[in-house]
Structure 1
Amino acid sequence: MARDNPVSRRTALKLTGAAASTALIAGCSSDDGNGNGNGNGGGASEYEAEPEDEIHFEATTGDWTGIKPSEIEGSSNPTLILEEGETYYIGWTEGNNTEHNIEIWDENDEVVEEYETEEVSEPDDDQILEVTATSDMVAYVCDPHSSQMHGEIQVE
């Protein structure tokens, strides 16, 4: 997948992450009463998934908002911790009438093992990927909104 922009997605995401880290250090991480201290007002910022887990998001253009399981409900772009070789079901079940898709990327911002869906404005069963975790996986992304809708995957 060729890119015309001289600034790679990874570089843009690193800059976004640096800005978010600066905001966090600046005081946005105070205990806001939700018990997780991550300042996002929702669920956990990391989720250690169990094999066969169904992980569902709302596609909002600004981020992937966790819906299911309850541990990530309301969380923005939570990090998914997966076990290598195990199967998971990852996708989006709610949207904002804007075209989205979900893709699993490697460190070069390339789709891993064809784990990608078509862009649609209303999600259906085709927006849930059955994924077998591999060490190549580093992110789940909405390609049209990859600078905001980008969550980390850690495979252990």
Structure 2
Amino acid sequence: MAPYSADRRAFLSGVAGTLTAACVAGCLGNESESDSSPEPVVDAAEAVDGDTDPDAWRDVEEIRFDGYVGGWLGLEPAAIDRVENPTLVLVEGREYEFTWENQDGVHHNFALWDDDEEVVDGYSTDGNDIVGERETLVFEASAEMETYRCEYQQAGQKGDIEFIHDAA
């Protein structure tokens, strides 16, 4: 019985050593990954950072997104094409038309929030859970707008808002 016991111990020691090495390698790998930019969650997205240069946004009045559980996908303007949860750059006081389309059949809506996580001036869509269904929200940009969200998928569908105060 002693030889069997020794073989078992050797086997278990080998497994423990292999698991330890894998864990250390995994931790080191994760550390280097955290130094790089995050990858998009939505398969159709190509990036997580759009163009926030004010010149790219000065003439924008229409914004289009696709809605997925994992995040919003920017379509228009070109500065956010295929960008997941892009930062919106708006001109304070300008009227915008925001349209989004449901891509996954999960219930989504679009809402503009202030820094207290309250909907600004009632600016939110009713929401829908029908693939291909679109909703449009017309709003006037105001400096109190901090973020945009889906109120049903708040963790994944959210993005920041920046303002151009001088549209010249």
Q: Flag whether TM exceeds 0.5 (same fold).
A: yes
Q: Counterpart in 1 of 2:94?
A: 86
Report the alpha carbon displacement of residue 39 of structure 1 after superposing the two structures with TM: 5.6
Instruction: Count residues in correspondence.
Output: 125
The answer to whether residue 107 in structure 2 is matched with residue 99 in structure 1 is yes
Give the TM-score of the pair, scaled to structure 1: 0.69
Q: Counterpart in 1 of 2:85?
A: 77
Pairs within 5 Å for 1:1-156: 26-29=34-37, 40=40, 41-42=46-47, 44-47=49-52, 48=54, 49-51=57-59, 53-122=61-130, 123-124=133-134, 127-156=135-164
Separation of aligned partners in 1, 2:75 and 2:34:
28
Give the TM-score of the pair, scaled to structure 2: 0.65
Structure 1 runs of 4+ aligned residues shifted over 6 Å read: 22-25
Identity across matched positions, percent: 27
Letter in 2 for 1:96: D
Q: Counterpart in 2 of 1:17?
A: none
* Equivalent residues of 1:43, 1:73 under 8 A apart: no
Q: Counterpart in 1 of 2:3?
A: none
Separation of aligned partners in 1, 2:31 and 2:50:
16
Separation of aligned partners in 2, 1:113 and 1:155:
17
C-alpha RMSD of the superposition: 2.5
Q: Deviations over 1:73-126 (max 9, x none)?
A: 1101111111111111123124211110000000001000110111211333xx
Separation of aligned partners in 1, 2:32 and 2:161:
21
Q: Give the 3-state SS of the residue equivalent to 1:113 in structure 2.
A: strand
Q: Give the 3-state SS of the residue equivalent to 1:136 in structure 2.
A: coil
Letter in 1 for 2:78: S
* Equivalent residues of 1:85, 1:134 under 8 A apart: yes
Separation of aligned partners in 2, 1:134 and 1:58:
24
* Equivalent residues of 1:54, 1:90 under 8 A apart: yes
Q: Structure 2: which 5+ residue stretches go unaligned?
A: 1-29, 41-45
Q: Structure 1: which 5+ residue stretches go unaligned?
A: 1-21, 30-37
Letter in 1 for 2:161: I
* Equivalent residues of 2:74, 2:85 under 8 A apart: yes
* Equivalent residues of 1:51, 1:88 under 8 A apart: no
